[in-house]
């Protein structure tokens, strides 16, 4: 009798996991929300591990968002540079040279920020890959150093 109950419980878990997996086509937030309330995680710390992984994914999303804003700012500076160059050609005695120098300095700062974001994104993606590889092999994938905040 206990064996039948265990078999039914396993089938129920498989069914729940299948339902959750098919739900991956829906939004990530909805999927995450369902997973946190499910019994799909067999280990006591399964939800904790999932939340740690989620933190890495959210941080990657934040870095991507910062990178997009940065690209917009860089493109805006490019427009400003072209306008300043045009103004300098039109009136060589104007203050367009100072404006160009300021734009060049801002571009250098933005390039530094871009490189930091690229490095952070690569680190986060490697952390996520390591986390997933550890989870597949059954190890503890929730190393604190892998989920630290980089604010």
pLDDT at 6 over 50: yes
Burial class (CB within 10 angstroms; exposed 0-12, middle 13-18, buried 19+) of 63? buried
What angle do the packed helices 96-137 and 46-90 form, to 10 degrees?
A: 160
Nearest Cα residue to 35 out of 25, 24, 147: 24
Residue 73 has pLDDT above 60, yes or no: yes
Residue 151 is classified by DSSP as -
Give the per-residue pLDDT at 144: 44
Predicted confidence at residue 68, as pLDDT, reads 96
Return the pLDDT at 132. 82
User: In the predicted model, is pLDDT for residue 148 greater than 60?
Assistant: no
Find out whether 23 and 31 touch, Cβ atoms under 8 Å: yes
Average pLDDT of 103-113? 96
DSSP-derived 3-state class of residue 106: helix
CA of 120: how far to CAs of 60, 132, 134, in Å?
A: 9, 18, 21
Q: How far apart are CA 130 and CA 134, in angstroms?
A: 6
Split at pLDDT 50, 70, 90, the class of 91 is confident
Q: Is 135's pLDDT higher than 70?
A: yes
pLDDT band at 150 (very low <50, low <70, confident <90, very high): very low
Answering whether pTM is above 0.85, one says no
Listed in sequence order, the DSSP H helices in 2-45 are: 2-22, 28-36
Q: Please say if the pLDDT value at position 130 is more than 50.
A: yes
* pLDDT above 70: percentage of residues in the chain: 62
């Amino acid at each position: 009798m206990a064996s039948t109950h265990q078999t039914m419980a396993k089938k129920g878990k498989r069914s729940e996991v299948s339902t959750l997996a098919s739900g991956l086509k829906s939004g990530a937030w909805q999927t995450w929300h369902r997973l946190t309330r499910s019994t799909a995680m067999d280990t006591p710390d399964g939800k904790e591990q999932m939340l740690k992984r989620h933190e890495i994914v959210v941080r990657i999303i934040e870095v991507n968002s910062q990178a997009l804003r940065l690209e917009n700012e860089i493109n805006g500076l490019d427009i400003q540079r072209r306008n300043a160059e045009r103004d300098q050609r039109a009136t060589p005695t104007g203050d367009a040279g100072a404006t160009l120098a300021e734009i060049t300095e801002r571009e250098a700062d933005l390039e530094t920020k871009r490189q930091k974001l690229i490095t952070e994104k690569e680190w986060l993606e490697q952390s996520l890959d390591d986390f997933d590889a550890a989870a597949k092999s059954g190890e503890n994938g929730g190393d604190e150093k892998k989920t630290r905040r980089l604010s």
